[in-house]
Amino acid sequence: MKCSLLWTVLTVAAFAAATPAARHSLKVKESIAVPRGWAKRDVAPRHMRLNLRIALPQSNFALLEQELYEVSDPAHERYGAHLSQAEVNELIAPRPESVQQVKAWLAGHGLREEDLSFSPAGDWIKVAVPVSLAEEMLDAEYHVYEHSEGDTLVRTASYSLPEHLHEHVELIQPTTLFSRFRGMKTSFRLHELDASVAPPASAPPIHVPSASGGKVDASCNTTITVQCLKELYNAVGYTPKANTGNQIAATGYLDQFANLADLQLFYADQVPAAINTSFKLVSINGGQNNQSEPGGEANLDTQFAFGISHPIPATFYTTAGSPPFIPDVGTPTDSNEPYLDWVDFVLNHPNPPQTISTSYGDDEQTVPLSFAQRVCNDFAQLGARGVTLTFSSGDGGVGDGDPDPATQQCFTNDGHNKTEFLAAFPASCPFVTTVGGTHLVPETAISFSGGGFSNVFSRPKYQDQQVEAFLNKLGPKTFAGLFNKNGRAYPDVSAQADNFRIFFEGRAALIAGTSASCPTFAGFVALLNDARLRAGKPPLGFLNPLIYSLKSGFNDITTGNNPGCGTQGFNATKGWDPVTGLGTPNFGVLEKLVV
C-alpha cells in the first residue's frame, strides 16, 4: 500500500514537471561529434522501439574499487577473499533518491513501473519505448546512421534531461554510442598442408630455454596447435581436473556461431582426450548457434580456449544482435546492443565462470566517455567476485583497428582532426587483462599487436613502475603529442597470434589476430585456477595487481614493433612495453608462484 501511494505521488509530481513550461529546464546531458565513417541517412522510424538503458550513479563504487584491489593484491591480507554477488550489489546500489527521481520522470511520460526492468543492484533501468517517445523524453533527434563499411545504427548525437536529473543519471543508451564492436582477427584462410612451407618431418626441435623440456617442435614456426602452445608455454604434462568447480567461457557476438562438428574435428586433430565432449551453450537475449553458419572467430575462440583447458567445464555465450541493422516494419526493435546484454546477463549470474575470454572491441574514441567508464566499472564488479576477464588488444598496432597501416585513419573525432595513436576499448579498461600478440619461435612481437595508452582511463597504480621505466627509455621526444603518457597502458600480457590451425566447415584453416592470443592466454589462466582450486585456494580473479608484482613467470619479448599511423609504432623492449606487455606466460613458473 505504501509503495503504491508513493508511486502515485511521484507520478503526479512528474506530470507536473513535464509541462511545457517545465521543459525549458532541459539541459544537454551528452553531445558528441559523430565518429568518422558514419553518415546520417533517414529520420529514424517513429514506431521503432528502442531498449533504453538508464544508468543510475553507483553509490559506493570507490569502496568497491578499494575492495577489488585489496582482494586482488597478493601482498594484502585479504588477497583472494572475493566478494559475493550480494556484497557487490550492496556496494553499488544507487541512492533511493536517484531511483525515485528517475521513476517519477518516467511516470511523467506515461511509463508505469511494470514497464521497467532493473539490474540486480538496481543501478540500471531498462525500458522499451518508441523512437517518438524517446525523442520527446530526451529532446533528441534520432536518425539512421550508416557506416562506410555497411553497418547501420539508429542514434542521436545529443540528448538532454531535466536539469535536476543530471545528478541522478550517469548516461542513457542507445543514444551517442557509435561503436561497431568488431572481432579481432586479421586474417583467415583455408589451409591445405603445403610441403614447401611446413618444415621437414625430421627437422630438429627449436631450442627455447623457457619451454617444456627446453624445446619446441619445429612445426610450430609455421602452424600453431594446442601442443605447440603447451610446449612453448611450459605446460606439457599438466592435466587439469573437471570437478573442482572451475569454469572457462568464451563470448560470441555478431552472429559468430561455434560449430560442434568442427570442434570434434579439432579435438580429433589436436586434443584426442576431448573427443565427444563439448561446451555448454548459453543463449543471451535469444542468441543462436546456427550450425549451418560457422564463424571463424567463434570456432577459434572455442577450439583453442577449451582445447588448452580441457577437461575444465566450458561455456560459450552467444548473444543476439548484430549490425547491419535496417530499421523497417520487419525489424521493429533496435537489437544491435549485444554487448550490454551480455554484461547484464553475466552480472546477474550468481556463479559466473572464473575465466572469460572476449575477442571483440573497437576504437576507444567511438565510445562515449560515460559509457566507457560505466562498462569498465561493471568489469570491476566481476573482478571483485573472482572473475578473470581477458580481452584482445586489437589488430591495428598503434592505429585505429585497421590491420593495414596504409589505410589507417589516425585522427581524433573531437572536431579537431588531430593526428594521434588511437587506443582500443575495452582493451583500455584498467579492470581487465589485455592480451597482445607474438609470432614465430623464438617469439617476437607481431606487427599488428594493438597497444598504447588510453585517453579515457588514467594509469592505475599497479603498473606505474613498469610503465614509467618504459617511458624513461622511450624519452620525452619520441612520438611527442601522439599518445597520452599518463593513460592506462596496454597490453598487459601477450601470446602467439598467427597461423593458428582451426577447423572451419570441415576443413583445416589458418587464422591470425589477437583473437587467437586472447583465448590462448585465457586457457592458461584456467589451468592456473585449476591448480589453485586443487590446493584449496580461491581463483585468481582480477589478475593485473598480481602479474605486475611478479619478478618472474613471463617470457620477456624484446624484439618487434607495432607500426601504425605512419610510424613504426612502439618497440618491444626489456620489461613491459606497449606491444607485448609483460610478455608471454611460463605456466610452469606461474603455477609455483600462485599455488
State how far the Cα of 154 lies from the Cα of 135, in Å rounded to an integer. 12
Task: Give the N- to C-terminal CA distance of the chain in Å, as an integer.
Answer: 55
Q: Which residues contact 97 (CB under 8 A, 6 or more apart)?
A: 168
Report phi then psi at 484, rounded to 5: -95, 100
Query: Are the beta carbons of 493 and 556 closer than 8 angstroms?
Result: no
C-alpha cell at 377: 566499472
Closest CA to 458 of 397, 552, 369: 369
To the question of whether residue 556 is assigned a binding role by annotation, the answer is: yes
- Alpha carbon distances (Å) from 403 to 300, 353, 395, 446, 514: 19, 31, 5, 11, 11
Catalytic residue (choose from 170, 217, 262, 297): 297
CA 576 to chain centre: 21
Task: List alpha helices for 310-409, DSSP H.
Answer: 338-347, 369-384
Burial of 142 (0-12, 13-18, 19+ CB in 10 A): buried
To the question of whether residue 575 is assigned a binding role by annotation, the answer is: yes
Is 341 assigned a catalytic role? no
Catalytic residue (choose from 428, 447, 515, 517): 515
Burial of 82 (0-12, 13-18, 19+ CB in 10 A): buried
Query: Are the beta carbons of 375 and 412 closer than 8 angstroms?
Result: no
Residue with cell 619461435: 441
Is 301 assigned a catalytic role? yes
State how far the Cα of 224 lies from the Cα of 500, in Å rounded to an integer. 5
Is 492 assigned a catalytic role? no
Which neighbouring-strand residues pair with 503? 508
To the question of whether residue 577 is assigned a binding role by annotation, the answer is: yes
Known binding-site residue numbers for Ca(2+): 556-557, 575, 577
- As annotated, the active-site residues are 297, 301, 515
Annotated binding residues: 556-557, 575, 577
